[in-house]
Structure 1
Amino acid sequence: MTAIEIEYCVPCDFLERAEAIQHQLLQQFGERIDSAALVTGDKGVLRVRVDGDVVWDKDDDEYDLDEITRRTREYV
């Protein structure tokens, strides 16, 4: 099974975006994943990892829930 981590910057108040990503991924993949965990961070981070591999990073990619879901689907 698959473990997803959504690391977000607490001081930047990215919690709502991280929760939106988590909700989208849980809604799409539900029982096919082990977890979709929120991980606190800092320094502007907003990043999605699947089984340790970075599939989306705010520093490199536009915020797009559909794109994040598509990239995650390749691992699930």
Structure 2
Amino acid sequence: MRNLNDPTQDNVEYMIEAVKTKLRMASGAAMQASHFKMEQYEDIKDIYDVVASKEKFSISEVEALVSELGRLRSK
């Protein structure tokens, strides 16, 4: 099992890909792990934990999570 407590770029990539897959993000291609800074690791992990803990999401939940990822994304 992966240890996501270690803030590594590999873990960021894993979490971003898992979130994109679970939320079935149509714009997933625009959301690359390389667009996120390591300083945001805890915020990314928080989003990952929320997504991993739920089976289904409402449209408003998906929009909120995607919006939060967008906010974290480096310009």
TM-score range, shorter chain: 0.3 to 0.5
Q: Which has the higher helix share?
A: 2
Question: Which structure has more strand as a fraction of its residues?
Answer: 1
TM-score by length of 2: 0.36
